[in-house]
Amino acid sequence: MNDYIFVKKEPPHDKSLWVKIAILIQDNKTKENVFYLDDGIYDEENKTASTCIWEEGNFSCDCNRYLFFQRQKGLQEEDDFECSDGKYSVCIINPKTKEVLYDEINTPIVQQRISEISPDGRNIG
């Protein structure tokens, strides 16, 4: 458990353990990407951050990835963005260890962006 940065959450989210994760989202058409820290649920059984929501849950579809991408860019979100698959790819990283937990991007940009994580894993850039 020392391999993660644990985050305290307020109710009702305090029923699960939460950890910091680094998220890289890439627009597959333009290859533009955003990289930021957020919180993810810790999978106590497997002793890792859960990536299920990014692999097959709500965050696996382009409509949600589009929203996250636009918000990180500080851009207006379109109301009529259609749900699809494959317009955006993600890579989920443990910022403390720099371990890649889930990667749909698989290009050198992943390692380049990982190098931007501070040594303590608490900041990017």
Q: How many angstroms separate the Cα of 66 from the Cα of each of 28, 35, 78, 83?
A: 11, 13, 9, 9
Q: What is the pTM for the complete model shown? A: 0.94
- Helix and strand tally (H, E) in the chain? 3, 6
Predicted confidence (pLDDT) per residue in 13-43, tens digit: 889 999 999 999 999 999 999 999 999 999 9
